[in-house]
Amino acid sequence: MRDFILKRVAALLLPFIQMYGLYVIFHGHVSPGGSFAGGIVVGLAFIAFATIYGLERGRAKMPERITTLTESYGTLWYGIMGMVGIIKGAPFLANKLAGIDLGTLGTLSSGGLISLIGLGVGIRVASTMVTLFFTMMEEES
């Protein structure tokens, strides 16, 4: 009961922090920020959860098995998105050349594959941050 206020506030805020992180990840090409900054925000939400509710409960939210998978396949997702260009006969990481419709200026779709690539990078960054935090905390104890 000692951290009652902290825990309540965190429970209220953390979902919104994560939503904000996802927003930053997806809107990297139309607003400041991007997949790295957004990924950090998402990762920090998990780290904040672990510091407030204790390491065990934090680890239960993000077990090592999951972070290994998200780290690996987040990066692989980037590669797959890059390969879209090659499959369509354009160079690696091609966007408009690969026949992606770029929509209207200033909207989410105007980045083509960029938001999707950003999703992979964001997942990777978030899980890396979580891994770094837990590795150091567990090494310490």
Partner 1 sequence: MKILLDKLIINYPYFAAVILFLIGAFTVLTRSNLFKKLIGINIMESAIFLMFIAAGNIRGGAVPILRQSNPEALYINPVPSALMLTGIVVSVSVTAFALALIIRLYQSYGTTDARRIAEMKREVT
Partner 2 sequence: MTATIISNLPVFVVITPLFVAFILSTFARRIRLVESLVITVLALGVLGAGYLASLVLMRNGIPIIYSMGGWPAPWGIELVAGSLSAFFLLLVAGVSLPVALFTVDNMTHEVGGSVRTTRFYVLYLLLAGTLAGMAVTNDLFNVFVLVEVATLSCCGLVSACKHPRAAEASFNYLILATLGSALILGGIGFLYIITGHLNMGFASMELSRIWQDYPHVVWIAAGFLLVGFGVKSALFPLHVWLPDAHSTAPSPASAILSGLAVKGYMICLIKVLYNLFGSTLIQKFALHRILALLGMVAIIAGSLFALAQDELKRRLAFSTVAQVGYVFLGLGQVNAQGLTGTLFHIASHAVIKSGLFLAAGAIIAATGKTRISEMVGIGRKMPITMAAFTIGSLGMVGIPLFSGFIGKWHLLSGSLTAGSTLAPLVIVIGSVLAAAYLFPIIRTAYFEPAQAIDGQDPGVPQRIALILLAAGVVILGVAPGPFLELAGRAAVELLALK
Using CB under 8 A as the criterion, which residues of the chain lie in contact with partner 2 when the complex forms? 68-69, 71-73, 75-76, 79, 82, 85-86, 89-97
Binding residue for partner 1, selected from 12, 32, 56, 101, defined by CB under 8 A: 32
Q: Which helix (H) or strand (E) holds 81?
A: helix 64-87
Instruction: Please answer whether residues 36 and 121 qualify as being in contact, where contact means their C-beta atoms are separated by less than 8 angstroms.
Output: yes
CB of 8 to partner 1, least distance (A): 31
Whether the CB-CB separation of 35 and 59 falls below 8 Å is answered with: no
| Binder of residue 31, out of partner 2, partner 1, none (CB less than 5 to 8 A by kind) | partner 1
Residue (15 or 91) nearer to partner 2, CB: 91
Report the residue number, 18 or 35, with the smaller CB distance to partner 1.
35
* Residue in this structure with the two tokens 């797959």, named with its chain if needed: 80
Between 90 and 137, whose beta carbon lies closer to partner 2?
90
Question: 16, 123, 2: which is closest to 52 by C-alpha?
Answer: 2
What lies within 8 Å, CB to CB, of 34 at 6+ separation is 24, 25, 28, 118
CB 5 within 8 A of CB 11: no
Per-residue binding letters, 86-125, with partner 1 (x by CB under 8 A): ------------------xxx-------------------
What are the tokens at 31?
Answer: 């607003």
Binding site for partner 1 (CB under 8 A): 29-32, 34, 36, 104-106, 132, 135-136, 139-140
